[in-house]
Amino acid sequence: MTDILTNGSEIKQRVISEINNAKQCIYLAMAWFTDRDIASAFIAAKNRNITIDVVLSSNAQNETVKLMLKGANINVHAFETGDERGMMHHKFCLIDNRISINGSFNYSYNASNNNVENIHVSDDYDVYRQLYSEFERIRDNIDNNIALNTVVRDIKIDPSKSTQSASHSSPDSFYQQLYNLVYSSVQISTEEYKRKGYQKSKESIGNIEVFEAEYLSIKEEIKVYATDDSLLSKKNILLANITNAFENKKAELEADKENGKSAIAKSTDLEIRQIKERNSGIQAEKSILESGNLNTGERGLLQVNKEIEKNKLEKKALEQGFIVKEFWSVGTILVTLLLVVFSFYLSLFFASALYKVFFEGNVIRNSVEAGVTPGLPQLVDANAILKIFKQQGALFGFIAVIFFLFPVLISNIKLFGNEKKWINSLLFWIGLLVFDIVVAAMVAFNTDKIESLIKGVEPQLKVWEVVGHGEFWLMFVFGMMPLIVTHYAIDYLYNAYKKSKRDLVDGEKEKKIKVLDEEMIDHNAMKETISNRIKEKEEAIKENTNRILHLEKELNELQNQVESRYGELLKSIKNIFDDFHAKILSGKIFTEEILLSVVSVYKSGFIEYLPAYFSEDEVAKRVGRIEQVINSSN
């Protein structure tokens, strides 16, 4: 996340929002803090047990907010007002070991209402780490009364350079320290010997014999320190002095070593602490994903699994409540065969009625007009369908075949899903009685017309006289009875089918099961989502844990390097001390170290005068002879 805001009021609201959303800790370094609204947000965060540390600049404008924060038991670090040990000019806020807010924006009313400002909101760990390191430095400086611009610690220490933090701990400096102790103890002034050499050279005009005599005299003088028993107390004092110097040097090295190791550890500990804090946050999020949050009502994997099990149990209970029978049985097979027979019969019956009503009269009329006297037609013509196909074509033939379905379907309207009993009853009687009565009446009326046509007389039958006609009752009975049988056969098969279908046996239960199935899909999707998020949290925790192990291993290696380097340094210094100690006891420190030094400076003083009296070549010759004197006497 990287957000940059430039509007003052929006910046203020974003800052307050981030503070309100803080879960663990807030660290603030602010030059000017006068906005009480933001201060109230800090106080509210403190009341939520958020860890808060504030660093302020030492100016009078901050006093009001400083008192507000301190009154809420918030840690505030600042020099006394007017302190001139550097201006704390930072403007950054660090939240939950993750969020850093940095920019030009002071927490003041002027900044949010009048100024042109900016903030950069980021969750980049490197940015957070560097700003937190600076926060700790400033806070420590203030708490220890150290100027703000003074760097008293270096977070990232190079172990290869850690021993350089105190150059006085080098073997060369320690050697020089002991050497100076020896000179000061025996009270030998090298400068005095140099002046003496110059003076003797001047008095003897560079006489080499004079140099040789003086050299031998100095040599004997120095030997006294090595051989004279009267100087034993001075040796003991000298030994005590170098021993004390050695012990002090060991203590200094040990302190430097511990400081070096501590400096390395401080940076690593900071990063490890931040990683552990992040891990704690991730673990808390993982726990919520696993077990849910009672305070917010957020569901976790535990609750989703419980809901899944509850769903399964509820569905199982509903399914066990169904009583479903097999559709095909002896009864349904026989009824189906009966239905087929009666359907065939009704098709022929109503096709015959259709033929008689619409087509047979024309056939009889044509025969009469042709001079042929036809016989009386049958009341029910089994060949009516064939005649219609032959005489009227396929369309009317097809209509004749399915014509019987109209009364059958009308009398069984519930097959189409109608649940209203009064409508089913009404249409049942319409299909059985009305339809059959109309058909029977039309057949009877048409039969009378045909008979009158054959006899050559006008038909006398009135519509209301149809019920007294024999053909009417024959058609009515032979049409209605099969319709009734067909109705009950269909009703029987319909009920058997309903009992064989779960959704028809108990529609409410089936709806509940469908709802449960849909809920199960949602539960499983939620479970998969939560499980994936838990895996992500586990991977993040594992990665952070590995990072901690790596840092601890790296810290151990770096501290071992520091330990090793200081061990080598101590060993070198111990060797120097042992060498000086042995030479002092034997007196060689005087004959080998001090004598060489004294003769060297005396020679230097003696030679220094020669150029003033002799030519360059002559000076070179005399210097060569002086070297011969020194070498021959050793």
Tell me the pLDDT tens digit for each residue of 211-220: 888 888 887 7
Instruction: Give residue 376's pLDDT.
Output: 67
**Using one digit for the tens of pLDDT, what is the confidence trace for 584-624?**
777 676 666 677 777 777 888 888 888 888 888 888 888 88
16-25, 416-425, 532-541, 616-625: least confidently modelled range: 416-425
**Measuring CA to CA, which residue among 36, 39, 76, 79 is closest to residue 59?**
79
Which residues have CB under 8 Å from 582's CB, separation 6+? 588
pLDDT reported for residue 503: 62
Highest mean pLDDT among 19-33, 313-327, 566-580: 19-33
**Amino acid 150: pLDDT:** 63
Inform me whether the pLDDT recorded for 158 exceeds 50.
Answer: no
Q: How confident is the model at residue 38 (pLDDT cuts 50, 70, 90)?
A: very high
pLDDT score of 322 more than 80: no
Fold (topology level) of 2-152: Endonuclease; Chain A (3.30.870)
| The pLDDT of residue 151 | 59
* pLDDT (average), residues 35-48: 92
421 versus 515: the higher-pLDDT residue is 515
Which contacts (CB < 8 Å, 24+ apart) does range 340-344 have? 342/482, 342/485, 342/486, 342/489, 343/404, 343/408, 343/486
Would you list the DSSP string of 531-542? HHHHHHHHHHHH
Pairing of strands 2-5, 99-103: unpaired
Nearest to 90 by CA among 51, 19, 33: 33
Q: What is the pLDDT of residue 15?
A: 94
**Calpha distance 439→350 (Å, rounded):** 8
Instruction: Give 329-335's long-range contacts (Cβ < 8 A, gap of 24+).
Output: 329/496, 331/492, 331/496, 332/492, 332/493, 332/496, 335/489, 335/492, 335/493
Reported confidence tier of residue 44, pLDDT bands at 50, 70, 90:
very high
Residue 502 is predicted with a pLDDT of 65
Nearest to 182 by CA among 230, 225, 215, 216: 225
Our CA angle for 513, 519, 525, nearest 5°, is: 140
pLDDT of residue 81: 74
pLDDT tens digit string along 537-587? 999 999 999 999 998 898 888 888 888 888 888 888 888 888 888 877 776
Has residue 153 got a pLDDT over 60?
no
Q: According to the model, what pLDDT value does residue 193 have?
A: 79
Instruction: Name 120's bridge partners.
Output: 4, 102
Q: Residue length, the chain? A: 634
3-state DSSP assignment of residue 586: helix
Instruction: Check pLDDT > 80 for residue 496.
Output: yes
Q: Could you tell me the residue ranges of all domains in the chain?
A: 2-152, 165-286+563-597+626-633, 330-500
In the Cβ-directed half-sphere of 633, how many Cα atoms lie within 13 Å?
Answer: 20
The CA distance from 606 to 212, in Å, is 11
- Please tell me the least confidently modeled range out of 132-136, 530-534, 544-548: 132-136
pLDDT at 162: 39
From residue 404, how far is each of 107, 265, 356, 395, 435 by CA, in Å? 92, 100, 15, 15, 10
Residue among 271, 319, 357 nearest 555 (CA)? 271
Angstrom distance (rounded) from CA 530 to CA 304? 9
- pLDDT exceeds 50 at position 402: yes
Beta-strand (E) ranges in 96-212?
A: 99-103, 119-122
Given the structure tokens 């501590």, which residue do they identify? 262
Phi, psi (5° rounding) for residue 107?
A: -85, 70
pLDDT score at 163 = 36
Is the CB of residue 416 less than 8 Å from the CB of residue 367? no
| Averaged pLDDT of the chain | 82
Per-residue pLDDT of 300-313, as tens digits, reads 999 999 999 999 99
pLDDT of residue 156: 39
Residue 477 has pLDDT above 90, yes or no: no
What pLDDT score was predicted for residue 255? 86
Q: pLDDT by residue (tens digit) across 372-392? A: 666 667 777 788 888 888 888
Strand 51-56 to strand 91-95: parallel, antiparallel, or no bridges (unpaired)? unpaired
Q: What is the rounded distance in angstroms from the CA atom of residue 500 to the CA atom of residue 323?
A: 9
Look at residue 306 in the predicted model and tell me its pLDDT: 93
pLDDT at 167: 40
Is the pLDDT reported for residue 295 higher than 80? yes
Distance CA 604, CA 570 (A): 35
User: Is pLDDT larger for residue 513 or for residue 592?
Assistant: 513
Average of pLDDT values for 140-158? 62
Side chain identity, residue 152: V
Q: How many CB atoms lie within 10 A of CB 578?
A: 11
What is the average pLDDT across 230-248? 78
